[in-house]
Structures are given as structure tokens and as C-alpha cells.
């Protein structure tokens, strides 16, 4: 509960220029692969993170043609990992999927694969066992990451999806996992403001993560959140101080893009994609 010393009136982070704005494909779930990339290009957005399902619909070769035609660069592929399967067969399947994704990421020129841990099986309450599978799952992927030249970006998710998506809920735990593994060069961290904005020691844990930060995902927390996964807000519409969080991340030396990732089944996924992208470009100067 120590107040953290920050001057919110004049945050250290400067205005985000459009060349540092990345918009995730999942923010435009209403589009297919090609539509989403073309839409970004129309608004001068030059960076995206690829959503594996959309990629698989077209295949890597066609995806590369579309990206090249539109001059859009791939920052990451989303989402790999899923180490907590209850059976060896499930975990082997996840390993194979990760191998495939790392190869796809390599071919697309992506810098990282966003890596989430997975949750618990329904009615399972053995959190400790599920958590113990995370370091071993990551360790098994390290040689594949090294071989592909693609970083693993471990992403803690909000505690409200602990049971369903990620038994890793805080940046502190992510830092602990990396420390325990000896901080291998192939393993970094993805920071998502939506997942972590509430974390008590967020600023100091960001400092601790330091050069291990690979990605910065941003969206907003809506006061009236109607779904534990698919009701994220547009930056500026909620309670997260994204500008401040970005200033903390950049204080570590990070100079990558701010990546807008909005899961929004009932609002933004129902709007015309050009309206969504125009809104993000407009709002990013003020709120990112």
C-alpha cells in the first residue's frame, strides 16, 4: 500500500507516434486475416500481432504476401504455451502446437510468441500441481525458441482467468519463474496492462523485469465488466492509467510498440473495423 512516486500530470512517456502503435488482429475479430491487415494499412498502422486461428485460415505463405503487400510487420504470434494439461497426452499436444507456432512465427519474422500457462481443468482444484508444470513446460520449449530465433514472451493473465486460462496471475510470479530458470536469453515477459493494472507492486516488478520485457499489451478495464475474458475496453474508456504503465515500462529501456489488444465480443467486435482502428489511432495519442 505504499504510494508510488510518480508525477501523473507529466508522465515520462512521450506521446505515442503511429510508428510505435501496434494493433492485434484479435482486436478485429470481425475480420479475416486479409481484411484485418488491409484495414490497418488504410489507417497507417504498420504493426500487428497475428492470431493463430486467423493465420491458419490462410496459411503462412498467403499471410506473408498480404503482410508484404500492405507493408505491415508482425510483432508476435498469439497465443502459445498451455503447459497445465492434466494428462501427458494433452501436454504433448500443446508442445506440438507450440513447435508449429514457433515455426510459423519464424517464417513471419515475428520477434516473439506470446506464451500463457493455461488454467485448470473443470472442477480441478489442484492449483499447485498445475503451477508446477509451468517451469518444466517453458524449459522444454527453450531449445525450440533458440532454434527458431523467436522469443517466448511469458504473459501473466488476470486472476479472474486463473481457473480457465492462466495459473500465472502476477508479474511478480513471472519474474520469479524467469529467475528460477536462470533468465535464459530466449525467454522474456509480455506485460498486459489489463491483466496487471491492479498489481500492488507493479512499478517495482516492472523495474525488476527490466530488459526481459518483450511486449506491452494495452486496453482498458471497464467499471461494468460483463465477461471475465471478452469485455475489455478501448484505452480511455476505463480505469487503467496506460500512459503511466507505459512510462514505467519505458523507464527500463523498453522502446517497442504499445500493442492494443481488445477482446470485446459485444461492442468492438460488432463495429465496422475501420471505425475501430480510427478510434484507436485517435485515442492512442491521448491515452497510450
Pick the closer one to a copy of itself by CB: 80 or 156. Answer: 156
Contact stretch for a copy of itself (CB under 8 A) within 23-31, 218-226, 256-264, 268-276: 218-226
Determine whether 278 is exposed, middle or buried from the number of CB atoms within 10 Å of its CB (0-12, 13-18, 19+). middle
In degrees rounded to 5, what are phi and psi of residue 220? -135, 155
CB 226 within 8 A of CB 264: no
- Which of 88, 182, 223, 255: binder of a copy of itself (CB under 8 A)? 223
Using CA atoms in the order 236, 241, 242, 243, what is the torsion angle rounded to 10 degrees? 100
228 interacts with a copy of itself by CB under 8 A: yes
Of 70 and 196, CB closest to a copy of itself: 196
User: Is 163 a binder of a copy of itself (CB under 8 A)?
Assistant: yes
Residues 6+ apart with CB under 8 A from 137: 81, 83, 84, 91, 94, 95, 117
The residue within the footprint of a copy of itself, chosen from 60, 127, 139, 140 (CB under 8 A), is: 127
241 binds a copy of itself (CB under 8 A): yes
Task: Decide if residue 125 touches a copy of itself (CB under 8 A).
Answer: yes
**132 lies in the site for a copy of itself, by CB under 8 A:** yes
Which is closer to a copy of itself, CB of 17 or CB of 125?
125
Does 82 interact with a copy of itself (rule: CB under 8 A)? no
Pick the binder of a copy of itself from 87, 128, 253, 255 (CB under 8 A): 128
Rank residues 70 and 168 by Cβ distance to a copy of itself and give the closer one: 168
CA angle 143, 184, 257 (to 5 degrees): 100
Query: Nearer Cβ to a copy of itself, position 25 or 170?
Result: 170
With CB under 8 A as the contact rule, the residue among 86, 160, 230, 278 that binds a copy of itself is 160
Residue 159 interacting with a copy of itself (CB under 8 A): yes
Among 173, 179, 249, CA closest to 211: 249
For residue 13, state whether it binds a copy of itself (rule: CB under 8 A).
no
Binding to a copy of itself by residue 268, rule CB under 8 A?
Answer: no
* Range 21-80, binding a copy of itself (CB under 8 A): none
* 238 in Cβ contact with 218 (< 8 Å): no
Residue 195 sits at φ, ψ, to 5 deg, of -75, -30
The region of 45-53, 103-111, 195-203, 250-258 touching a copy of itself under the rule CB under 8 A is 195-203
Q: Which is nearer to a copy of itself, 3 or 253 (CB)?
A: 3
Burial 209-226 (b: 16+ CB within 10 A, else e): beebbbbbbbbbbbeeee
- Which residues contact a copy of itself (rule: CB under 8 A)? 1, 3-4, 6, 8, 120, 122-129, 131-132, 134-135, 158-160, 162-164, 167-170, 172-173, 176-177, 180, 197-200, 221, 223, 225-228, 238-241, 244
Amino acid at each position: 500500500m505504499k504510494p508510488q512516486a510518480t508525477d501523473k500530470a507529466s508522465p515520462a512517456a512521450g506521446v505515442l507516434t503511429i510508428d510505435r502503435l501496434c494493433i492485434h488482429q484479435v482486436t478485429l475479430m470481425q475480420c479475416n486475416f486479409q481484411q484485418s491487415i488491409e484495414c490497418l494499412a488504410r489507417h497507417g498502422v504498420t504493426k500487428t500481432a497475428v492470431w493463430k486461428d486467423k493465420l491458419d485460415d490462410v496459411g503462412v505463405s498467403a499471410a506473408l504476401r498480404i503482410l508484404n503487400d500492405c507493408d505491415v510487420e508482425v510483432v508476435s504470434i498469439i497465443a502459445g504455451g498451455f503447459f497445465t494439461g492434466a494428462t501427458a497426452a494433452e501436454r504433448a499436444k500443446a508442445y506440438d502446437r507450440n513447435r508449429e507456432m514457433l515455426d510459423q512465427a519464424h517464417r513471419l519474422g515475428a520477434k516473439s510468441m506470446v506464451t500463457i500457462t493455461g488454467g485448470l481443468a473443470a472442477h480441478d482444484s489442484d492449483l499447485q500441481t498445475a503451477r508446477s508444470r509451468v517451469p518444466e513446460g517453458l524449459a522444454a520449449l527453450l531449445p525450440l525458441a533458440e532454434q527458431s530465433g523467436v522469443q517466448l514472451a511469458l504473459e501473466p493473465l488476470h486472476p479472474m482467468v486463473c481457473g480457465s486460462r492462466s495459473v500465472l496471475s502476477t508479474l511478480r510470479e513471472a519474474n520469479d519463474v524467469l529467475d528460477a530458470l536462470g533468465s535464459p536469453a530466449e525467454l522474456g515477459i509480455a506485460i498486459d496492462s489489463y491483466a496487471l493494472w491492479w498489481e500492488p507492486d507493479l512499478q517495482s516488478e516492472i523495474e525488476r523485469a527490466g530488459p526481459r520485457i518483450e511486449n506491452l499489451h494495452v486496453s482498458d478495464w471497464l467499471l461494468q465488466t460483463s465477461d471475465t475474458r471478452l469485455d475489455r475496453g478501448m484505452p480511455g474508456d476505463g480505469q487503467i492509467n496506460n500512459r503511466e504503465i507505459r512510462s514505467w515500462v519505458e523507464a527500463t529501456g523498453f522502446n517497442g510498440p504499445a500493442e492494443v489488444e481488445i477482446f470485446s465480443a459485444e461492442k468492438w467486435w460488432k463495429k465496422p473495423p475501420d471505425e475501430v482502428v480510427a478510434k484507436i489511432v485517435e485515442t492512442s495519442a491521448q491515452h497510450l
